[in-house]
Structure 1
């Protein structure tokens, strides 16, 4: 399959190619230096018809328009690197979906902190774009941030997710067979572990923050729990309600369209357990205290909180916390990854909750993303029929492989964390 992008007015930032100049020349020097010392292959096709190869050998990419690639990097840094992929200025040397793009990006992600000389890294706060204020996780902005991603189309997500419609890391029985293991079983294993750690069983009053498409609520209701689950996605609320009713649990599960902060207006301690799967990443760093105070406020005495959170190493979180990235621009507006240490600090300062259990499963996420990417590209015609153009397909392929690389290189991780109050530990 060939993915060709023809930017239109739908993608205004991709239409103009930036002018070259000093920033492009600096970007080219940094790119060449970074690639030359790593086990990747980059083939540069020059306008005169000649081809130049750099790198120590390994997963290969082809740069069809070097001037455009360097101009975009020079102007917009890593956002420009991703945008150059969207326009087709560069691409993997192979068939999309064969994993080459993810393997190439994994090599770079493994050395991400050393790709730019340390002497220049001090300029990060000056030259890197900053998150727009419109992305802040305020009550006014949050629903728009969520809708940008999750209200694209339920049918789009159904095209590449497993039958449970779980859009978070699975927990595989064996990583060696993760690409062939039954996907729904691996997703249920993840959900069931969280419910087990939160102590969810018959009669449990369970609060879920971040509904997804309702699978966790269904699994909890099947255990005999009564569930209230919150979402800000109109599309997710509608389909989750349908799926819950079809499963026969409409009388046990309530799906509310509201911000998590409404819980502060309600009586404290109303829930025996609280779960939240990959929701904290959408909260925004300045609102982490409010988010965890909400969990503490909602939890009944003796209860437990179980969350699944994508994380960064603490030093990287501090260095990149306010940076606007390809992911925040095109995929998750307002997103910000915490570190486990940051969660520990925030809960220690602002709540009575303390981390009592921690399971890291980053490599499981790498396998999950690999499976999503293969399924997404295999559903190319179905995605096109839904009205998504070739540039969107390239964007999501890049997003899925970009994230896979982060987990495969251990640059980012995902943790299942259990929190309890100190007097209940």
Structure 2
């Protein structure tokens, strides 16, 4: 069994075992085949009963409302189509509209995602359909129903709260799936964050250089050079460590992923840079010392809303008075962040347990209230992330047979294809953005 395969099975099963009250178990064959109810109970279960039937009617009405307002089409099994007449527009193909409606009526976007995982709907342009939805996400649901959001939607489970022990489990759910899995769709740098291309649109051949360009820009913003003492929070698979050490810096990198630590360490040893790089399995809250540069790429998204003040206070404490803090952070609109900070989403249930995207307003407010860190540079690269995700998704889909050989089943494949397309749509629509954000400690420390 390949390295990480056991982790992939246990992680998928662990996510799927969350309870779903008031639903009946249905393991009959779907468009995509029989669902393994032991491994994927949340996907095998379809809501039943009179309440589910009523909520399904509401969900169907909302789907039709979306098709009539957005540049997309709904195609039904009987050949009928709802929406624009233009056949070139992205089409959501409904294989089992009744099940899709019951899932959406029961758990909203979680049900929408689980229905795709079950093969109950597909699309000729998955990212296009999701981009159309993301462009008008705030207007699709009538205001009367939006006011019921805090009551109707599930709240985040307390079990995902990012205490030190739980944070390690949450990280393992995603990053310890399998190094081989990530190697199938990432470029040779094994960098799992937005690239920075020299031109858009981009090609797969440009991805490795674009990742190095992204890292080099962040290192430049943090003034990393010969002799710099650097702390990286969130190792990834080691590319930033390598590039910082090649500049003559001494870098300590911390991660909660045992798989990432293992491979990143191997890469450092192979590059002959072990004398300049230390990679530790350590929670960022337990790091001590002071560093000329503190760098953290797309780490805040996994921290959790309750721990954002702790995260920024820690960055502030660890940087020297004349140093720099440089982060790369994915952001969402402030109003949507406030609306979703306590709810449970499909991404949290199946992809990133315990995570939440901040807004730019939240980051500015947190640093101003809790730290001496002040912004000295902001650089947006949302369009570059849309292209990065497109390239990842295309390669992921191409490698379906390789992923199956690693032990990842069809439900997992559809889940990750949806995750990558969902994320791409967020950036392509402008609903999401990503910033390289540089801070300097100024004034007093609180």
Cα deviation for residue 181 of structure 1 reads: 5.0
Cα deviation for residue 108 of structure 1 reads: 0.8
Select which of 249, 262, 268 maps to 2:286: 262
- CA shift in 2, pair 1:5/1:190, >3 Å: farther
CA contact (8 A) 1:306 1:419 kept: yes
CA contact (8 A) 1:279 1:309 kept: yes
Select which of 239, 245, 251 maps to 2:275: 251
What is the CA–CA distance in structure 2 between the aligned matches of 1:347 and 1:382, rounded to whole Å? 44
Select which of 310, 318, 326 maps to 2:338: 318
What is the CA–CA distance in structure 2 between the aligned matches of 1:7 and 1:131, rounded to whole Å? 25
* Structure 2 residue 208 is matched with structure 1 residue 193: no
Q: How big is each residue's C-alpha offset from its partner over 1:234-260, in whole Å with a ceiling of 9 and x where there is no partner?
A: 000000000011111111100000100
What is the CA–CA distance in structure 1 between the aligned matches of 2:414 and 2:205, rounded to whole Å? 27
Q: How big is each residue's C-alpha offset from its partner over 1:22-44, in whole Å with a ceiling of 9 and x where there is no partner?
A: 11111111111121221101101
What is the CA–CA distance in structure 2 between the aligned matches of 1:82 and 1:349, rounded to whole Å? 37
Q: How big is each residue's C-alpha offset from its partner over 1:133-161, in whole Å with a ceiling of 9 and x where there is no partner?
A: 11111112100000000000000000000
* Structure 2 residue 431 is matched with structure 1 residue 411: yes
- CA shift in 2, pair 1:370/1:6, >3 Å: farther
Aligned residues: 407
Aligned to 1:43: 75
Aligned to 1:278: 298
Q: What secondary structure sits across from 1:175 in the alignment?
A: coil
Cα deviation for residue 378 of structure 1 reads: 1.0
Q: What secondary structure sits across from 1:416 in the alignment?
A: strand
Aligned to 1:52: 80
Aligned to 1:97: none
* Structure 2 residue 68 is matched with structure 1 residue 32: no
- CA shift in 2, pair 1:90/1:237, >3 Å: same
Select which of 138, 159, 165 maps to 2:163: 138
Cα deviation for residue 322 of structure 1 reads: 1.3
Select which of 181, 194, 200 maps to 1:169: 194
Cα deviation for residue 126 of structure 1 reads: 0.8
What is the CA–CA distance in structure 1 between the aligned matches of 2:383 and 2:370, rounded to whole Å? 31
Aligned to 1:18: 47
CA contact (8 A) 2:321 2:442 kept: no
* Structure 2 residue 361 is matched with structure 1 residue 336: no
Structure 2: which 5+ residue stretches go unaligned? 1-30
Q: How big is each residue's C-alpha offset from its partner over 1:301-329, in whole Å with a ceiling of 9 and x where there is no partner?
A: 10000000010111111111112111000
Q: What secondary structure sits across from 1:229 in the alignment?
A: strand
Q: Which moved more, 1:113-122 or 1:230-239?
A: 113-122
CA contact (8 A) 2:204 2:391 kept: no
Aligned to 2:180: 155
Cα deviation for residue 334 of structure 1 reads: 0.4
Runs of 4+ residues over 4 Å off in structure 1: none
TM-score by length of 2: 0.89
Aligned to 1:96: none
What's the RMSD between the two structures over aligned residues? Answer: 1.3
Aligned to 1:234: 258
Aligned counterparts, 1:67-216, within 5 A: 67-93=98-124, 100-176=125-201, 178-180=202-204, 182-216=206-240
CA contact (8 A) 2:32 2:120 kept: no
What is the CA–CA distance in structure 2 between the aligned matches of 1:181 and 1:304, rounded to whole Å? 32
Structure 1: which 5+ residue stretches go unaligned? 94-99
TM-score by length of 1: 0.94
* Structure 2 residue 356 is matched with structure 1 residue 327: no
